[in-house]
Amino acid sequence: LASLRDIAEKLNVSVSLVSKVLSGRLGTTGVSDEAVANIRRVAEQLGYRKNASAVALLSGRHNIIGVFIHRLGMAGSGIIEELLEGVSAVALQHHQRLQLNFFITNEEFFALCHGANRGTMDGLVVGGVYHAELEEHLRAIHGAGLPLVTLYDTPVAQPIPNVGFDQTAASRLATEHLISRGARKLAHIRNMDGRYEGYRQALAAAGLRYDAARVFQAREHDYSHVMGEEAVRKFLKNGVAFDGLVAQSDQEAVGAMNELFRRGFRVPEDVRLIGIDNAPYCEFARVPLSSVSQDFLARGAASMRLVLDLVEGRDVRSTHVQPILFPRDSSR
Amino acid sequence: LASLRDIAEKLNVSVSLVSKVLSGRLGTTGVSDEAVANIRRVAEQLGYRKNASAVALLSGRHNIIGVFIHRLGMAGSGIIEELLEGVSAVALQHHQRLQLNFFITNEEFFALCHGANRGTMDGLVVGGVYHAELEEHLRAIHGAGLPLVTLYDTPVAQPIPNVGFDQTAASRLATEHLISRGARKLAHIRNMDGRYEGYRQALAAAGLRYDAARVFQAREHDYSHVMGEEAVRKFLKNGVAFDGLVAQSDQEAVGAMNELFRRGFRVPEDVRLIGIDNAPYCEFARVPLSSVSQDFLARGAASMRLVLDLVEGRDVRSTHVQPILFPRDSSR
DNA sequence: TTGTACGCGTTATCAT
DNA sequence: ATGATAACGCGTACAA
């Protein structure tokens, strides 16, 4: 690859002159039109490109932002694609390069953390499923002075800015929606305490009686369609009547929908359904599935903006995105 | 961030000594145990990390591999996640950093190409939906000497190594599978000529008559569930009998499945169904959907291996991955 | 209008 | 056993 020196030698001028011309930073000095033209021509001809590492070394900025994503248990939800799209768009816009790393195990995360420092990148976004074991390492990275933003529901550690999401509000929104459409006997698949709270809040606000029999306790960390199927089976077996179901993922909701159809129920006529995540397949479920989006596009974008603010030395506070309701036929 | 010099000054030793100790490359010379211990201790204490840009500048290698992905029209298929997982795993394994960029429009791609050169990265993988307009730029990148590997079905331009996929073989595999399960009147949604060929090859090989009435011509570049629904509607409207349907995506297959159920048909009893992509939602479709995977995990991994081979100066040839059949209940 | 000198952090080579 | 020097490519302060 051609360097400034190659151009300078070819034209018998100094490297600094070439640098000035090509970087467009002439300072106080003037340059002859002829020299400019020559330099531009030869640069073009030699296919000159700045060496990013040299610039980084000099400026102390790599223009690289790391993105570490825990990608377990999110297959098919489209969450990761959405997140990456958001992060990537903002990075591009700010001329920052995006260094992507996935991890599953804690060990993989620890290994990544070792390479996460000012000698490698300017800032870091960490997102995905939270595990308490990660906190120590996140604190270490933050403590070492690397701009760091997390993407968890709630802030992990006080000084680390986070782009959060109110799961209670999301679940409340979903439940309120089914109520507004006429459901009165609302069932719920319980995975997450916050979401359970939101469900109860919506019931209370609407003056509906809470019935513990309508809550199906899912296996921990299991948001698969199996939970939806099992929930429906259990309700039917126990003779629990319900005309609405607030699931904890679109997979659960689709599982429930399938089971309902198998048992001869209709959606939404007999049971109104809503999921969470607004996965792409909501559109083409047996009955298009209503859902609440966690807006990972906006979350990704916000996290990148935040980390860039940190890099620039601006003050930054944790923020969060709002759940978005996508009503479809399953709750008509 | 602490540098070698910081450590050296703190210990009153030379920078080169610190470098030797910390990089583990002592050459022919020995170092006193005490010096080693001191240097290690202070390095730890100061949180020393190598500056990647300095190393890159010196070595001429950035240890960064770019990955440019055209991500249009693949939502929900899980393809991008799979691809990224494959690419990312191999990169990590070889201690290479992964620079991710998405693009949709040609202009976005051209902009990315401008930053794709030896001054920025060591190699590049480009994948996604192919458009002829990209070829010129791909050739330019390759011509400029940046190791480049493409991820298209067939090689785009002769000298550029590609990790391909035989769409004809995939479609043949899907069709053969339905035939082997007993389907005799096979319908087909036609998007791609290669896939259509594979369908016909399988029919011919099984001695089944080809009937043009059983082929539904999809809109160009439309692999959505709508095509599946329309195909079923058209067949039924025209009184075309079929006991198997080879779709061109899982979305099409799910669309067809939904329409079949709405019309009172059973899957697989009346119609056996198979899709392509093996998307995550195949597992939890109304009837779990059989599919043929394009094995984007392996493709991603292979492309990264190839580009790393190129970077190392090894000779490299285009390769391809095999379609993988995932039989499920929809073709039982 | 153009050139010189220096430094960013690291490592390889050669010297002491 | 340790140190000095040069070099990677670029930008900038300063000199000519």
Q: What is the pLDDT of residues A200-212, one digit of tens each?
A: 999 999 999 999 9
Tell me what pLDDT residue B27 has.
Answer: 64
Nearest CA in chain B to A254: B284
Q: Which of A19-28, A141-150, B241-250 has the lowest mean pLDDT?
A: A19-28
pLDDT band, residue A99 (cuts 50/70/90): very high
* Residue for token pair 């694609």: A81
Tell me what pLDDT residue A78 has.
Answer: 83
Amino acid at A81: E
- In this prediction, residues B266-292 reach a mean pLDDT of 95
Summary mean pLDDT of chain B: 93
pLDDT at A75 over 80: no
pLDDT band, residue A73 (cuts 50/70/90): low
Tell me what pLDDT residue A221 has.
Answer: 86
pLDDT at B75 over 90: no
Tell me what pLDDT residue A74 has.
Answer: 61
| Distance of C1' in D10 from CA in A237, Å | 74
pLDDT band, residue B28 (cuts 50/70/90): low
pLDDT at A246 over 90: yes
Does the CB of A16 sit below 7 A from strand C? yes
Nearest CA in chain A to B143: A47
Tell me what pLDDT residue A27 has.
Answer: 62
Tell me what pLDDT residue B157 has.
Answer: 83
Tell me what pLDDT residue A10 has.
Answer: 87
Portion of chain B with pLDDT greater than 70, in percent: 98
pLDDT at A29 over 70: no
pLDDT band, residue A28 (cuts 50/70/90): low
Distance from CA of A136 to the nearest CA of B (A): 16
Q: Is A241 on the interface with B (CB under 8 A)?
A: no
Tell me what pLDDT residue A130 has.
Answer: 83
Out of B64, B88, B144, the one facing A101 most closely (by C-beta) is B88
List the alpha helices (DSSP H) in chain B: 4-11, 15-23, 33-46, 52-59, 79-93, 106-114, 134-143, 167-180, 193-205, 225-237, 250-262, 296-311
The verdict on a CB contact (< 8 Å) between B54 and A53 is: yes
The verdict on a CB contact (< 8 Å) between B281 and A254 is: yes
pTM value > 0.85: yes
Q: Mutate which of B93, B146, B284 to test chain A, going by most A C-beta atoms within 10 A?
A: B284
- In this prediction, residues A234-245 reach a mean pLDDT of 97
Tell me what pLDDT residue A271 has.
Answer: 98
Q: Is A110 on the interface with B (CB under 8 A)?
A: no
Tell me what pLDDT residue B30 has.
Answer: 72
Q: Is A144 on the interface with B (CB under 8 A)?
A: yes
pLDDT at B71 over 90: no
Q: B329 with B272: CB under 8 angstroms?
A: no
| Distance of C1' in C12 from CA in A79, Å | 47
DSSP codes of every residue in B44-83: HHHT----HHHHHHHHS---EEEEEEE-TT-TTS-HHHHH
Chain B residue numbers with beta carbons less than 8 Å from the beta carbon of A50 are 119
Positive/negative CA dihedral, B219, B224, B230, B236: positive
Chain A residue numbers with beta carbons less than 8 Å from the beta carbon of B56 are 53
CA A68/CA A188 separation, integer angstroms:
32
The verdict on a CB contact (< 8 Å) between A47 and B144 is: yes
Query: CA dist A108 to A70, A102, A115, B83, B157, Å?
Result: 10, 9, 11, 19, 37
Q: Which candidate, B162, B174, B151, B198, places its Cα nearest to that of B324? A: B174
Does the CB of A17 sit below 7 A from strand C? yes
| Distance of C1' in C9 from CA in B82, Å | 37
CA A148-B49-B119 angle, 5° bins? 85
Q: What is the pLDDT of residues A153-176, one digit of tens each?
A: 999 888 999 999 999 999 999 999
Out of B50, B78, B119, the one facing A75 most closely (by C-beta) is B78
Considering only residues 49-78 of chain A, list those whose CB is below 7 Å from strand D: 49-51, 54-55, 57-58
- In this prediction, residues A85-105 reach a mean pLDDT of 95
